[in-house]
Amino acid sequence: MNKIAIYLLLLATPILYANPVVQTTVGTEVIAVTPVTDTTFVYAQREFKENFRDNYTDDDFQYETKTQAKNAWDRFWEAVWNFLRDLFGGGNKSEGSGIGSFLTYLVAGAVVIFAVYMIVRAILDKESVWIFGKSRKKIAIQDIDGEDIHQMDFPILIEETVQQGNYRLAIRYYYLWLLKELSEREIIQWHYDKTNSDYAYEIKKESLKKQFEYLSYVYDYSWYGEFPINESAFTKVRMAFRETLNTL
């Protein structure tokens, strides 16, 4: 009997210690898959004409900036600017760079104004006009040419005009007399179409040139300026002309 009980106990032991059976239901998840479509666009092969490059040779298709070649005038002003910048330190980033830049522009402006003035003066002198003065007409006067000036008796003409009180005409004769003497001494070359500046340039002696320039000034403003000349003023002018004539 005991053996039977032990035997039953041994058979029941595996059943008691066995894991319980759990029924598990696994759900099935359905995943929708989108089919892949090739969307690559196929371009048709393009053909170009053999001379298609000729259509792009115009200026509208040229993107390179062409640098204009500098002429002598541009190079001159570039050198002037560089000199002024070096002189006043306009290119240095220092405390005084502002003052240096101001002085650079100031001096450059003065140089430009002076250069323009000299150019205009040189041009207008040929037309016998001063830019900052009255009209400088040509010395040549009607009825007087290169031949007549050497045949005229100016002392007699001057005395006649002085007796008539025509001092402006007397100064004119004095000036032509001076030109006659300068021409005869080959200090100048007389020509009816020359100007006062032309004659002054031909005079090499500095003291004589200054006297001539002063008398030319008096002549211009008395004759062409139409300023009234009284006897007192004429006396001073006459002394100046005689002094110059006596030094020749």
129: three-class secondary structure by DSSP:
strand
Nearest to 136 by CA among 145, 155, 123, 154: 123
CA pair distance 60, 56, nearest whole angstrom: 8
Q: What is the pLDDT of residue 80?
A: 73
CA pair distance 33, 114, nearest whole angstrom: 90
Per this entry, what is the length of the chain?
Answer: 248
Q: What is the pLDDT of residue 142?
A: 44
Residues of the chain scoring pLDDT < 70: 1-69, 84, 87-105, 122-147
Contact call for residues 247 and 240 (beta carbons, < 8 A) = no
Q: What is the pLDDT of residue 209?
A: 94
Helix, strand, coil percentages, rounded to 5, for the chain: 60, 0, 40
pLDDT in tens, 128-176: 444 444 444 444 444 455 557 888 899 999 999 999 999 999 999 999 9
Q: What is the pLDDT of residue 22?
A: 46
CA pair distance 119, 156, nearest whole angstrom: 42
135: three-class secondary structure by DSSP:
strand
CA pair distance 238, 231, nearest whole angstrom: 10
Q: What is the pTM of this model?
A: 0.45
Question: Which residues lie below 8 Å from residue 35, measured CB to CB, with a gap of 6+?
Answer: none
Average pLDDT, the chain: 73
Q: Helices (DSSP H) in 53-166: which residue ranges?
A: 72-88, 97-126, 154-163
